[in-house]
């Protein structure tokens, strides 16, 4: 049964580098794919996001001599976790998981392409000011409610969910179709942040 057309499914970063064997693998990350594919059949509008970084992106530990992945540094826009090189533009790791139903996508939103700023949220880069354009797209379609799924729960999914709620959308998180990294307690922190923002978690 199709949902109300004012509801959309927002699928966050289900890419090879975030799945087992990838450069920044989320534990059990590929397990979300069957559930997401099934959910897509009930939404008139599905949006996919895709981390899409140049090879010299400043969020990569490789761009900071002497730094190691998962350390935190200060960037002009605030604290930044340094990541292993991942989801490089045009790479296998940046491609969607091969079993994900990309043909259902009304929009593929690529983020993180500015080498100077990371972009966790589907709505804003990490400076919290530079918009991706997704809000305007959704408003044009009359979308009022979003269901979020994907990778990783405690970073790109949580940032997107909190921003969506802050922008006035109704937001549901489907935990069975998400997986987290849990970096130094980041998962519980993200879950609490989403609850505080009014995100409904199923």
The residues annotated with a catalytic role in the active site are 13, 111, 156
> Residue 92's Cα: distance from chain center in Å?
18
User: 90: Cβ–Cβ under 8 A, 6 or more apart, which residues?
Assistant: none
Provide the pairing of β-strand 78-81 with 145-151: unpaired
Contact predicate 53/75, CB 8 Å: no
Tokens coding 150: 């994907």
Q: Order of strands across the sheet with 7-12?
A: 107-111, 45-51, 7-12, 145-151, 170-179, 200-201
State how far the Cα of 62 lies from the Cα of 69, in Å rounded to an integer: 8
User: Any bridge partners for residue 170, and if so which?
Assistant: 145
Tokens coding 170: 């109704």
Nearest to 158 by CA among 175, 144, 176, 141: 175
Contact predicate 48/109, CB 8 Å: yes
């Amino acid at each position: 049964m199709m949902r109300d057309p004012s509801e959309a499914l927002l699928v966050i970063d289900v890419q090879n580098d975030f799945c087992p064997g990838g450069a920044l693998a989320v534990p059990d990350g590929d397990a979300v794919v069957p559930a997401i594919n099934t959910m897509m059949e009930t939404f008139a509008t599905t949006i996919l996001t895709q981390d899409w970084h140049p090879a010299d992106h400043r969020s990569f530990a490789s761009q900071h001599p002497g730094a190691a992945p998962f350390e935190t540094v200060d960037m002009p826009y605030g604290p930044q976790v340094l990541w292993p090189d991942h989801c490089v533009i045009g790479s296998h790791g940046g491609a969607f998981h091969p079993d994900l139903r990309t043909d259902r996508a009304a929009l593929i939103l690529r983020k993180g392409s500015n080498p100077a700023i990371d972009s966790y949220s589907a709505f804003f880069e990490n400076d919290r000011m530079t918009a991706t354009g997704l809000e305007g797209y959704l408003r044009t379609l009359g979308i009022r409610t979003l269901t979020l799924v994907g990778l990783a729960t405690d970073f790109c999914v949580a940032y997107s969910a909190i921003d969506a709620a802050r922008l006035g959308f109704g937001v549901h998180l489907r935990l069975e179709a998400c997986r987290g990294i849990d970096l130094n307690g980041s998962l519980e922190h993200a879950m609490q942040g989403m609850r505080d923002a009014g995100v409904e978690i199923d």
